Structure 1
Amino acid sequence: MNRTLIIGASGQIGKQLTQNMLNEGQHVVALVRDEQKLSDIKSENMTIVEADLTDDFSHAFKGCSTVVFVAGSGGNTGADKTILIDLWAACRAADYAKQHDIKHFIMVSSIGADAPAEGPEEMQPYLVAKHMADEHLMHSGLRYSIIRPGTLTNNKAHNGFTTQRPSNKDEAIITRADVAKALAYCVAHQAKSNTVKELFNGAKHLDEVMS
């Protein structure tokens, strides 16, 4: 049985991803800090594991073949939480995945993680954390897919995508619902090679931009 560990399953993207995968009949291990945040999702195919990402969460990887790291410190926290979650927890997740022979690690990063110094000053701690977590994964020896979405919105799914960064900054956006769809696609279509992709709303189908 293939099982996917979703780290950050109660977050805004993680919860939609969890529901999408369960709707497709897939088996999910949902790693959350508080299981009550998933109380509205009922499925025999979901196993909930409670853990704090600042502690040891290696036990959650047992029996899984794929990992999606979609956890984040959130926009209202300080640089300390950014370091602990977006950097340290992400790096430890890659290490745990290596120990458990995970076949595919999918990381949700951010646009601008390739060049943090070029980002807005107030965003640089976050972008540095994402950059270093991505680099750690790239050098881990794991098969990986790194998704760097544009500015996130809560609009309804657009169902159209592009990996070409729009020249207009205001158009470099993507809905959280569409990111969840892209992640589900990555899980269902195991990567044949390591990939790093920026992702925005556009006019193409997922299979055109993710293959």
Structure 2
Amino acid sequence: MDILVAGGHGQVALRLLKLLADQGHTARGLIRSPAQADDLRAAGAVPVVGDLENDASLEEYVRGADAVVFAAGAGPGSGAARKQTVDLGGAVKLADAATALGIRRYVMVSSIGAHDPVAGGESMRPYLEAKAAADEYVLAADLDVTIVRPGSLTDEPATGRIRATTELGHRGPVTRDDVAAVLAHVLEAPETAGLTFELFNGDDPIPEAIAALGK
């Protein structure tokens, strides 16, 4: 498959791009700065330079893809306004581009807590509100959407074992490596379309945990 990952220089995105490239896919990462291109090439990915936040349309970058992944984020140091333009606006633009071009598969990297932004407290609320609105928008689009809501991200080594649940409201850690592995698996699991699930490290191998979600 040809897969475009928006937010291609992020920590999860780079891991995902490497996994996809190693699996033989055409892994393209949308990045804003040309200075980030070598990092993508080192992962085996194809850098695509474009401005997710400010470009009016993403169709130029999305064209030719079989699936898209939204893994972008304004980051913890950004204000509420950028969370609206990146975490929400970028996801909307990616969905609009995919819809316009007939690309049905859309995988969203969201966040635990997006089901109830108010409970996240003042500091987290703008981020969770943006994520919640983005999830709602893409779910309403004419797309085959899977929404993955990881727990607290860590840089521990991959475990290959997770806890995935469609019952929202849990908390716990998950490694970035395991998030990337789940995203790669979900992209080749069309039966996960329509699901929103939380993701943590756990006891179940990734394929079994994901397969159990639809049961």
TM-score by length of 1: 0.91
2:186 is aligned with what amino acid? C
CA distance in structure 2 between the partners assigned to 1:120 and 1:88 by the alignment: 22
Q: Which residue of 1 aligns with 2:94?
A: 93
User: How big is each residue's C-alpha offset from its partner over 1:158-197, in whole Å with a ceiling of 9 and x where there is no partner?
Assistant: 221002479985xx11011111111111122233641101
Q: Is the 1:144–1:191 contact (alpha carbons within 8 Å) kept by the matching residues of 2? A: no
Equivalent pairs counted in the alignment come to: 208
Q: Is the 1:69–1:107 contact (alpha carbons within 8 Å) kept by the matching residues of 2? A: yes
Q: Which residue of 1 aligns with 2:199?
A: 199
Q: Which residue of 2 aligns with 1:29?
A: 28
Which deviates further from its counterpart, 46-55 or 186-195? 186-195
1:194 is aligned with what amino acid? G
Q: Is the 1:104–1:191 contact (alpha carbons within 8 Å) kept by the matching residues of 2? A: no
Percent sequence identity over aligned pairs:
33
Counterpart secondary structure, 2:89: helix
Q: Is the 1:29–1:60 contact (alpha carbons within 8 Å) kept by the matching residues of 2? A: no
CA distance in structure 2 between the partners assigned to 1:154 and 1:166 by the alignment: 24
Q: Which residue of 1 aligns with 2:5?
A: 6
Q: Which residue of 1 aligns with 2:176?
A: 176
Which deviates further from its counterpart, 188-197 or 147-156? 188-197
1:125 maps onto 2:126 in alignment: yes
1:65 is aligned with what amino acid? D
Cα gap change, 1:203 to 1:53, in 2 (>3 Å): same
After TM superposition, give the deviation of residue 148 of structure 1 in Å.
0.4
Counterpart secondary structure, 1:111: coil
Q: Is the 2:154–2:175 contact (alpha carbons within 8 Å) kept by the matching residues of 1? A: yes
CA distance in structure 1 between the partners assigned to 2:169 and 2:62 by the alignment: 40
Which deviates further from its counterpart, 159-168 or 3-12? 159-168
Q: Is the 2:9–2:40 contact (alpha carbons within 8 Å) kept by the matching residues of 1? A: no
Counterpart mapping for 1:13-162 below 5 A: 13-42=12-41, 46-54=45-53, 55-56=55-56, 57-162=58-163
Structure 2 gap segments, 5+ residues each = none
- Give the structure with the higher percent helix: 2
Q: Is the 1:17–1:183 contact (alpha carbons within 8 Å) kept by the matching residues of 2? A: yes
Structure 1 gap segments, 5+ residues each = none
Counterpart secondary structure, 2:21: helix
After TM superposition, give the deviation of residue 59 of structure 1 in Å.
0.6
Cα gap change, 1:29 to 1:118, in 2 (>3 Å): same
Q: Is the 2:112–2:170 contact (alpha carbons within 8 Å) kept by the matching residues of 1? A: no
Cα gap change, 1:53 to 1:203, in 2 (>3 Å): same
TM-score by length of 2: 0.90
2:47 is aligned with what amino acid? I
CA distance in structure 1 between the partners assigned to 2:106 and 2:18 by the alignment: 19
CA distance in structure 2 between the partners assigned to 1:125 and 1:47 by the alignment: 32
Cα gap change, 1:41 to 1:31, in 2 (>3 Å): closer
User: How big is each residue's C-alpha offset from its partner over 1:67-115, in whole Å with a ceiling of 9 and x where there is no partner?
Assistant: 0000011111111111110011111111111001112100000001111
Cα gap change, 1:191 to 1:34, in 2 (>3 Å): farther
1:120 is aligned with what amino acid? G
CA distance in structure 2 between the partners assigned to 1:151 and 1:176 by the alignment: 9
